Every structure is written in structure tokens, then in C-alpha cells.
Amino acid sequence: MKKDKIGDPLSRIDGRLKVTGGAKYSGEYKLPGLTYGVLVSATIPCGTVSSMDIQAAGKAPGVLAVITPFNAPKVPGYQPGAARPVRGLKLFNDDKVYFNGQPIALVVAETFERATYAASLVKATYKAEPFETDFHKNFDKGVIPNEGRYKDYVRGEADAYKKAPVVVEQDYMLPSEMHNPMELHVTTAFWDGDDKVTLYTKSQGVIGSQRSIANAFGLEVANVQINSRFVGGAFGSSLRTWPHEVAAVQAARLVKRPVKLTLTREQMFTLVGYRPLTIQRIGLGATTDGKLMGITHESHSQTAVYEEFTENAVNVSRFLYASPNANTRYKVVPLNVGVPTPMRGPGEATGSFALESALDELSYKLNIDPIELRLKNYTDMDPERNLPWSSKFLKECYQLGAERIGWEKRPTKPGMQRDGDWMVGYGLGCGAFGAYRSKTQVRIKLTPDGSVNIQTATSDIGPGTGTAMTLIAADILGIPAERISFELGNSAFPVAPTQGGSQTVSSVGSAVHDVCIALKQKLNTLAGLPADNTAEIEYATILQRLNLPSLELTQESQSGEEARKYSMYSFSAHFAQVHVHSLTGIVRVKRLVAVVDGGKIVNHKTASSQMIGGAVGGIGMALTEEAIFDDRFGRYVNGNLADYHVPVNADAPDIEAIFIDKPDPIINPIGTKGLGEISLIGVAAAVANAVFNATGKRIRDLPITPDKVLMT
């Protein structure tokens, strides 16, 4: 009998469905009586809506309702005194406008085309107020976030780097970056009576969405059903329930029919978050032989005036390298913009660009190889928490990456290697991201024909969650993967955490592991064997002999004391080789080697794909992606996929993913730590550092475009 094991390159179990069109996404459910919702956006950045003329829209063919702040049914969770108040923007609850593009009306019609036409007929009159969208102009208005965990951090002496013999002090800028997954955000909602509602929506966490909708409408959690089986990319844009999802539910209750609300690509730039524009200052001080004496990392990033968004942009500087003195400062700048949200590698991707770039600058100032400098400041314990690592194989990452990229060919002086008209350079950027594990429940069912069904309410935004879980179950149960079906994306299934923070395999995988062990023990007991029997038994035969229609178990799995005794992180080292054209300034990433310490790798095939995808995102951060704002009108100039440049095939080089593949002995029974975030963290710095090695031009303002290369 064929046996599939953890580590095998199992093909995606849902791959055929996806490539043949059999996978149904949230916008593809054709419900009886389906109607269509289209949002109307504000055209000012700040002020109030004085009045709205909706007569023409309301009389347009096929229109069922036009919802505005002046006639909207009240959402209980939006009201003062709500038991569980909804955070963030509350659509149609009042007449206030906080940013250009904020929805101020929702048209519901029999067809999408009719709803779109009617939406164009809605006219609004505003009382405009002064607004602020210019981050640089308002930089000095940055404030320490309300959350206490973002207070200034000091280990040893603050700003001690200034006293060191060798000092690097520089500013680094990262523009706003948009998620832009292929699948638009779509929510289809319908009510069953007055107290039950069902949604098909793009969600990274159906349990979180279920609770959010229940809180908003004052419903029992069990009376809210969320379905999100397939998600066409998210990168963090679906980590929360957005106002348009609440609006779809609100509209469906009003018209008493299913409502499908689809965001346009332009609305995706303003309504589902983004990586915030951030300026960071790094100060590094070192001895002449390369030992760090002090690290200071300061960050200012934009947020919305109506809701505060924060992320761990400075935290990586507290622990990644040994330094007796380290301090960080973090502030946010409230502006009339839509609220940011976590984006792949949230905070750490931003922070690592600044830290790893500054460290590269220090290596040239000291005339020390960048790898050697990192080894001189390697940490065998977490200096921030003063705890041992659960596992750390970053030295092995350096070694393997250097070998594969051909680091020995790297010129020690910038601008010394050429290939015709192209200047050649090599760069390194490292990353770290917390290895998390959350409480998860999984249900397993064995039937007499020998097939196994596993259910849990996790989501899958693309990495191949179902495939990894199937492989874990096949390994533990000792049966072929084709006998196992794995179901997810349904809030009626056992509780699972949101897919974010690279925790899914660690959390859900541990629960799958544990429930499979429990099933084997139960079968052993039914067969009259010791519960810990390891000899092979035929599961189906036991059920048939006992005349059982099935055997079903639900198991909960969670971490223990280890989270307080160890510091748990995944680590990565990204090596880039770039070519920079000497006449045009065009940058081409020719090779990228990503070496990862992510614990035990469950499926090398899908893990490699995940690493390559993250690396491409890092190339976009380094070279192409930038949301451009017109501060005269408070709106994006390039809010579309024609003018916002995501990396395409021509930008993606030969990307090689290498895994240390050593299990973490502490974090969970499988030993996996997570890959999704560190696949991107460090890539932008590696590319920027390679550009400097090729040209001698240090570009600290991303993205690295030809004009900056030529003008620097």
C-alpha cells in the first residue's frame, strides 16, 4: 500500500479544481433571487455629507434600494452603548467623510450593470473641511500609539551607537504598498428570517468573521454562517471583517433577498488596507572590528484619522543581532486616508529593509564582509527576552545561501564587476518572524470503506493548507493521501485560528496530528490492543467487524508552557544577484536564493512555491511597487493594475528555495515553524544591497527605479 509521508512533494489536492474552474470563490455562488450591490464613493477627503440626491438612482430600472447615511437601517454594533462595539469605519452610520473614496451610498439592483449605472446617478453635496494626506508634511505630528505595547523600548543605554568608533545613521523610506490579490473582495449575504444570516465572503478567518458579523447585528454566533472555501489571494487584506461586508448584510436584510457586493479594483486601494508609508531612521555603532555597541531604530508610519493601525516595524532590531545597547521608538501619523492593515511580513518586512540596509552600509564602512559582520553579532539567545531560542539555524542559512549564489564572486568594492553594459552586484538580507501556535479544534471521521474526512474552520489563501494537512494525516495514519478528504473555510466546522502570522501549519497541523493519534488509539482499544500499539492494523476491518457506520472524534490542540520558556522564531537569509544597466539604470534581479530555517517542512513542493511567491513580493517591494498619492485632492493617482506596478514574469528571475528542514523540538509535535512571512522579509534589502554592490549607489527610498539609479 502506497504511503505518503511528511516531507513528500504531494501535489495540491485542490489543484485540479482550481485550474479547471471547479473551485467556487465567494463571488461565484448563484443564489435564488440574487441582487447586486455597488458602492458610491465620496469625492472629498474630509468633511460631511450635507445632502444626497438619490431620486434618479432610485427610479432607474431594476433598482431595489439606495442606502445612504440619511436612510440607512441602524446596525446595532455601530450604536453607542453596544455590547460589543464594532471598531473602525461605520458605513452609513453618520454623515462624516474621513477620506476620499469612502463609501457614502450603496445601490442595490437586479443586475450588476443596473446597479453600476444607478450608482453613477447618485449626487452628493458636501461641506468640505481641511484635510491632511501629505505624510512628509505631517511627519512631526507623529504620536506614540494608544496601545501600551508600543512605548519606547530601551536595553542598556539609549542612543549608545553615537559613542561608538564607527557609526552609520541613515533614513530609509518605504511607500504604501497595496495587496492587489487576483480575486477582488466579494461578499454575498442572505438572511433566513430575522435572526440568521449566511455569508459567502473572502476571509482569512471564518471564525473571526462570524464573531464580527454577530457582534455588528446583535446575533447569536451560531446564527451566523460564514463560507470561504477558496480565497484567490489575500496577503493580509482579509484578516478582518471590513465595512463593506457589514454593508452587504445590512442591504440583504433591507431588500429581503441575497445581495452580492463586489469591490472594484480602484476600491481595493482604499477599502481593504495596505502596507503603510513608513520612514525609518537607523543608528548603528560598532567597534573597529565589527562588534555592535548600539542599535537605535525609529519609525514613523501613516495611519487613519478614524482608526489607529500599528505594526512591529522596529521590533526586529531588538533581537536579531547581539548588542549590549538597543532602543526603539515607534510613532504613527494620522492622515485622511483609509486605514492600513497587516501585509505579508507585516512590520518585520518594513523594519528589516532598514536594519539590513544599514548593516550592509556598516559592513562597507568597516571593510568587513556582510556575512562575517552578521556572524560577529550572532545571538545564541534572544537578547530582548533573555530566553533561549526554541531552535535557530541562521548560520546554516548563511553558509548554504553563500554557496548557492556564488558569494565568492562578489566584488568587495562596489562597481567592479560587469557583464557588457550591465553592472553586476550581490546582496544579502535577513529576516525573522515569530513562530506562533494557537488553539485549534479538528474533527475526524473514519468510514468502513477506509476513507477519512477531516474538518476544521481554517482558511486557505493559497499556500496549500489542505494539502499539508492531508500529508500530515496520511503520515500519522499510515494510509494513502487519496483516502483522505480535508474540508475547511466553513464556520460550522471546529474552531481554528485565522490564517495569518504563518501559524496555520503549526496550529492546525498540530491538531490534525493529535486527532489522528487519538483515532489510532481509539481503534487499537476497539480492536482489543494496547492504545499505544504501533503495529499496522486495518482500520476499515475493525469498523466492519464491530458493525460501526463510522468512527468520529474531535480533538483540541494548543501550546503549553514552552511559549513562556523559549523564544520562537523562523529565520531566513536571502541572497540576490542583480544586473544594473549602466546607461538606462534598469535593475534586473538575475538570481535569488532564499534559505529558510522554518522548522520541519511538511511538503517541499508547496513550500517551495510559497517561498518563490513571497520572494516575488519582495522584488515588487524593492523595484516596482509604489502607491502614488495626489495630495491636492487626497486620492491615489495609480489606483489600478495598469499604473500600480506589481512584478510580472519578466521581473521574476530564477528563484531557488532552500530549506534547513530541521524540526523545532519545542514548538509543536511536528516541529514546523512557519514560512509565509519570512519568504518576503529580507528580500527588499538583499536587492537594494546588491544594487549598491553593483553600482556604488545607495538607494534608501524604495522602490529602486531607473531615475533614482541614474540620479543618486
Q: Identify whether the C-beta of residue 387 lies closer than 8 Å to the C-beta of residue 565.
A: yes
Summarize pLDDT for 582-611 with one digit per residue, the tens. Answer: 999 999 999 999 999 999 999 999 999 999
Which is nearest to 118 in space by CA: 43, 33, 32, 36?
A: 36
Summarize pLDDT for 10-26 with one digit per residue, the tens. Answer: 999 999 999 999 999 99
**pLDDT tier at 53, thresholds 50, 70, 90:** very high
**pLDDT tier at 291, thresholds 50, 70, 90:** very high
Summarize pLDDT for 407-426 with one digit per residue, the tens. Answer: 999 999 999 999 999 999 99
**pLDDT tier at 328, thresholds 50, 70, 90:** very high
CATH match of 438-558 with 3.30.365.10: yes
**pLDDT tier at 147, thresholds 50, 70, 90:** confident
Domains 33-44+46-130+180-271 and 438-558 share a fold: yes
How far is 363 from 407, CA to CA, in rounded Å? 15
Which is nearest to 30 in space by CA: 191, 182, 200, 195?
A: 200
Question: Does 656 qualify as catalytic in the annotation?
Answer: no
Is the peptide bond preceding residue 175 cis, with omega within 30 degrees of 0? no
- Residue 342: predicted pLDDT: 97
Domain boundaries, the chain: 33-44+46-130+180-271, 141-176+275-435+565-711, 438-558
Q: What is the mean pLDDT of the chain?
A: 96
**pLDDT tier at 1, thresholds 50, 70, 90:** low
Domain covering 141-176+275-435+565-711, topology = Aldehyde Oxidoreductase; domain 4 (3.30.365)
Residue type, 539: Y
384, 626, 656, 677: the catalytic one is 677
C-alpha dist (Å) from residue 506 to 255, 509, 511, 588, 615: 43, 5, 9, 36, 22
Flag whether pLDDT at 109 surpasses 80: yes
Q: For the chain, give percent helix, strand, coil, nearest 5.
A: 30, 25, 45
C-alpha dist (Å) from residue 500 to 459, 460, 705: 10, 10, 31
Summarize pLDDT for 61-90 with one digit per residue, the tens. Answer: 999 999 999 999 999 999 998 989 999 999
How far is 649 from 587, CA to CA, in rounded Å? 15
- Cα angle at 77 between 226 and 27, to 5 degrees? 30
To the nearest 10°, report the CA torsion of 380, 280, 159, 149. -70
Q: Identify whether the C-beta of residue 645 lies closer than 8 Å to the C-beta of residue 624.
A: yes
- Residue 204: predicted pLDDT: 97
**pLDDT tier at 372, thresholds 50, 70, 90:** very high
- The class level of CATH for 33-44+46-130+180-271 reads alpha beta
**pLDDT tier at 317, thresholds 50, 70, 90:** very high
- Residue 536: predicted pLDDT: 81
Summarize pLDDT for 464-508 with one digit per residue, the tens. Answer: 999 999 999 999 999 999 999 999 999 999 999 999 999 999 999
How far is 91 from 316, CA to CA, in rounded Å? 36
Q: List the grid coordinates of 213.
A: 458579523
